[in-house]
Structure 1
Amino acid sequence: MTSVYLGLVHYPVYNRNMEVVTSSVTNFDIHDIARTCNTYAIKNYFIIHPSTNQQEIINEILNYWNVGYGKECNPDRNQALSIVKLVNDITECVSNIQKETGQLPIIMTTDARTYSNTISYKLAREELLVQEQPILLLFGTGWGMQDSVMQAFDYILEPIYGVGEYNHLCVRSAVAIILDRLLGSPWWK
C-alpha cells in the first residue's frame, strides 16, 4: 500500500452563507484527527491554515503536548500529535509530500456534494492498494472547500450518507468514517 497523508483545509472554504472564508481551528480537530490518523497509519496530518494568529494557537497547542508538561503528563497524546505539520496552503502541503517522497501525490478529497470526478469508496480503496504514488486525503472545514479548488483534485470521494435526512457531519467524524472505509480491515469479507 502507498503512503497516505491527510490535510485539514481551513481556506478556501465556505461558511453557511456559501461565502469563501478562512475557518478557525478547533482544539478538538487537532487532537482527535491526529489520534485517528495514527490509528490508521497516516504518514503526516497537515493542518492547512494561512492565518498567523491561528498558526500561533496551533503551535502553542502542539508545543504543549510535544515539548511541554503535556508530553510528560500524557505520552499517548504526544505520540498522536507527533505526525502533525502546520502549513500555509495546499500547495505547501503538496510540496512537503513531494520533497519527502520524490513524487507528486494523488489528491483525493471529500464533500457532501457530488462532482464529475466523484468516485466510490470501493474504487478509492482499490486505488490505494495498487497505487505507487503517495495519496493526499484532503478534508474541508466549515461548509466544504471552494468548488473551483475541488475541481482541481484527482478524485472526490462520494458523500457519506447515513440513514437520516440530516447530512452535516463534523469533520472529525467524517475523517474517522472515511479512513476506516479506505484503510480499515475488510470486515465484510
Structure 2
Amino acid sequence: MSTTDEPIDQGPTRQGSETEHNTPNLYLALIHYPVVNKRGEITGSALTNMDLHDIARAGRTFGVKAYYVVTPYEDQRTLAFQIMEHWTNGHGGRVNPARKSALERIRVADTFEAVCNDIENEQGQVVVKVATSANTRHPTHSCRKLGQELKGNAPHVIVFGTAWGLAPEVINQCDHILEPIQGAGSYNHLSVRSAASIYLDRLING
C-alpha cells in the first residue's frame, strides 16, 4: 500500500526498503499506545513530526531495514501519512532526496502485534523483540551482547515508548530489555529520538 492510500488497513503500511550489504537485520518500532504517563497509568500519546524525521534518519544512517510508527488512532495515522507523503512523493522529497531516502523506511502500524507479524512475514522467521526502558530495575540485555547477536541472521526489532515509556504489556511481550542509557548524574529523561540514536551507535559500532 502506498502512502496515498487511506490508512484503514489493519496491517502496517510500508514505503519499502532497499537491500544493502553488511547491514544488520534490524527494525525499530515507536509505540504511541499502550504507554504510561508520569503516574504509571496506561495512556496513548500523539506522534510528533520530530520523532518521524529524526528516528528515520538515524535508522537510515545505521542501516535499519524499517522504522514502524505504531498508533491505533486514525487521526494520528493520517498525520503520519501526510508527513511521509510530503517528504517522499511531494515537494520535500524532490528538494531533499537524502531526507526522502530516510522517510521511505517508515511503516505505519496500528499495533505492536501487527509489527511483529509484518516482520515475520517478510523474513520467514520469528523476530526477536527487544524493549527499551529507563528503569534500571528491569532485567537487562547489554548493548554489547545484542550487538554481537545482530551479526547473525535473526531479525530483531528494538521497541521504544513515547510518553513515560512502554506499558508493561508491551515489555512482557519482548524477549529482552535493553540496558538503560546512563548519563553523568541522576537526571534521566532523554528524548526518544536521542535514545534511539545512542542505542543504534552502541549496537552497530560497539
Q: TM-score, normalised by structure 1?
A: 0.93
State which drifts further: 33-42 or 70-79.
Answer: 70-79
- CA distance in 2: counterparts of 1:117 and 1:161, whole angstroms: 15
Q: CA deviation at 1:116?
A: 5.3
Amino acid at match of 1:61: I
Match of 2:197 in 1: 176
Match of 2:132 in 1: 110
Q: CA deviation at 1:133?
A: 1.4
Match of 1:77 in 2: 99
- Please list every run of at least 4 consecutive aligned residues from structure 1 whose deviation after the TM superposition is greater than 6 angstroms: none
2:66 matched to 1:14?
no
- CA distance in 2: counterparts of 1:89 and 1:82, whole angstroms: 20
Match of 1:146 in 2: 167
Structure 2 SS opposite 1:153: coil
Amino acid at match of 1:178: Y
Listed one character per residue, the Cα deviations across residues 68-99 of structure 1 (whole Å, up to 9, x for unaligned) are 11111211111110100000010110111011
Amino acid at match of 2:128: I
Q: CA deviation at 1:149?
A: 2.3
Equivalent of 1:136, from 128, 137, 157? 157
Structure 2 SS opposite 1:118: coil
Confirm or deny: 8 A CA contact 2:24 2:64 kept in the other structure: no
2:178 matched to 1:157?
yes
RMSD (Å) for aligned C-alpha atoms: 1.3
Amino acid at match of 1:179: L
State which drifts further: 1-10 or 86-95.
Answer: 1-10
- CA distance in 2: counterparts of 1:64 and 1:110, whole angstroms: 30
Confirm or deny: 8 A CA contact 2:68 2:106 kept in the other structure: yes
2:69 matched to 1:51?
no
- CA distance in 2: counterparts of 1:76 and 1:123, whole angstroms: 31
Q: TM-score, normalised by structure 2?
A: 0.85
- CA distance in 2: counterparts of 1:75 and 1:91, whole angstroms: 32
- Identity across the alignment (%): 39
Confirm or deny: 8 A CA contact 2:24 2:63 kept in the other structure: no
How many residue pairs align between the two structures? 184
Match of 2:116 in 1: 94
Q: Name stretches of at least 5 consecutive residues in structure 1 with no aligned partner.
A: none
Q: CA deviation at 1:117?
A: 3.9
- CA distance in 2: counterparts of 1:128 and 1:64, whole angstroms: 33
- CA distance in 1: counterparts of 2:176 and 2:108, whole angstroms: 24
Listed one character per residue, the Cα deviations across residues 29-48 of structure 1 (whole Å, up to 9, x for unaligned) are 00000000000000000001
Q: CA deviation at 1:132?
A: 2.3
Match of 2:54 in 1: 32
Amino acid at match of 1:57: L
